[in-house]
Amino acid sequence: MNTAPRPLVDRFGRVHTDLRVSLTDRCNLRCTYCMPAEGLDWLPRADALDDDEVVRLVRVAVERLGMRSVRLTGGEPLLRRGLVGLVGRLAALGVELSLTTNGVGLARTAAGLREAGLGRVNVSLDTLRADRFAALTRRDRIGDVIAGLAAAKAAGLDPVKVNAVPVRGVNDDEIPELASFAVEHGYLMRFIESMPLDAQGSWDRAAMVTAEEVLARLGERFELLPVGRSGNAPAEEWRIAGTDTVIGVIASVTRPFCGGCDRVRLTADGQLRNCLFATEESDLRALLRGGADDARIEAAWRASVAGKGPGHAIGSAEFVRPERPMSAIGG
Ligand code: SAM
Ligand code: SF4
């Protein structure tokens, strides 16, 4: 197609340029704030989009809808077979490519992913203590994650961000240590408020550590210089004085950033979601497998975004939890 893409705008004037693609709902960890110890009923493999289907949908999003960045996530995206090849095909579409991972398999894949065209990576790490990591993720893999972070940096992925979800009484006493770890290794650090998106439905607002609390804890150890928010990014950022380390705080619950949201999400089984908290999805897989042409897929995508609401209503009486948990939507 030679014509320029037409922007994907919703009825509130928000232009959507960022696509999150979940490559699998499976995971090799069992973070307590995300899923139960026994795991979940994973999608049958035939229900998941194959590589050609993912590439086709991303191509339509780039060529027709003006999508500029694609973040690969899951579940655990490194569990996807043939990931390096898929990354190469997506990079060839000319989008900025990033990955969110638990880092367990990153030590052996980082260099290949970088070479295939991956630009940046976010690695989830909620604690620096091995016993705590094992209790929090129910797997004894902290060594792999630390090695994965180092391999990502060595491979030239830039930036390497560490994502942590502080939970009261579990790891909130480590907020300054995590920031120091980021300073020491040249990573960026992000703290994310926990959200009611765990599969068990046991989210408890009282256990959520707010962005304000995170900043207060950090302020006890560091001088924080405000950087602000870059573009529509969800994180508000501070730089630790005397360092290049930038700390981002994502206050999804206490300071929602829905007004500037530029995201759409595609689940591993090809369902388009116009919001993390959406309660409805558009079945792009059915269109793909039913032989729809690109124009039909584009129209379905625009219709989904046209129906996007103003924002989530966590904490209010109208809030309805989405049926799928975070791991099945793509975090
Ligand atoms: N498995 C990968 C990982 O852990 O980075 C990618 C998927 S995971 C669902 C994406 C991000 O969502 C992680 O940073 C994780 O910590 C975060 N997350 C999971 N459950 C959450 C929850 N209930 N509230 C807030 N963040 C959550
Ligand atoms: Fe797996 Fe990521 Fe969920 Fe942890 S947060 S269980 S690593 S999907």
Extract the tokens encoding 291: 């032989």
| Weakest-pLDDT range from 90-94, 272-276, 277-281 | 277-281
Q: What pLDDT does residue 331 have?
A: 81
What is the residue extent of each domain of the chain? 18-329
**pLDDT over 70 (residue 2):** no
- Cα(158) to centroid(ligand 2), Å: 22
Mean pLDDT of 199-219: 94
Mean pLDDT of 225-239: 86
97: CB partners within 8 A, 6+ apart:
69, 70, 71, 72, 87, 90, 91, 117, 118, 119
Mean pLDDT of 126-130: 98
Which stretches of the chain are assigned E, i.e. beta strand? 8-9, 15-16, 18-22, 69-73, 96-101, 120-124, 160-164, 188-192, 224-228, 236-240, 246-250, 263-266, 271-273, 282-283
Atom of ligand 1 nearest to the CA of 252: 25
**pLDDT over 90 (residue 266):** yes
**pLDDT over 80 (residue 231):** no
User: Considering only the top CATH level, what class is 18-329?
Assistant: alpha beta
H/E run at residue 203: none
Residue nearest to atom 27 of ligand 1 (CA): 194
Q: How far is CA 88 from the centre of its chain?
A: 20
194 close to ligand 1 (CB < 6 Angstrom)? yes
Q: What pLDDT does residue 1 have?
A: 53
Mean pLDDT of 307-323: 84
Mean pLDDT of 19-44: 97
Q: What distances in angstroms separate CA 64 from CA 51, 52, 117, 296, one per listed residue?
A: 20, 18, 22, 11
Mean pLDDT of 107-112: 98
Q: What pLDDT does residue 315 have?
A: 73
**pLDDT over 80 (residue 19):** yes
Mean pLDDT of 196-210: 92
**pLDDT over 80 (residue 316):** no
Q: What pLDDT does residue 323 have?
A: 86
pLDDT greater at residue 231 or residue 173: 173
102 close to ligand 1 (CB < 6 Angstrom)? yes
Q: 58 in helix, strand or coil? A: helix
- Cα(186) to centroid(ligand 1), Å: 22
**pLDDT over 60 (residue 119):** yes
Q: Tell me the average pLDDT of the chain.
A: 95
Q: Mind listing the pLDDT tens digit for each residue in 157-193?
A: 999 999 999 999 999 999 999 999 999 999 999 999 9
Query: Minimal CA–CA distance to 257: which of 279, 281, 228?
Result: 228
- Tokens 């940096």 correspond to 153
pLDDT greater at residue 113 or residue 322: 113
304 close to ligand 1 (CB < 6 Angstrom)? no
Q: What pLDDT does residue 257 have?
A: 84
- Cα(33) to centroid(ligand 1), Å: 8
Q: How far is CA 161 from the centre of its chain?
A: 12
Q: What pLDDT does residue 322 have?
A: 87
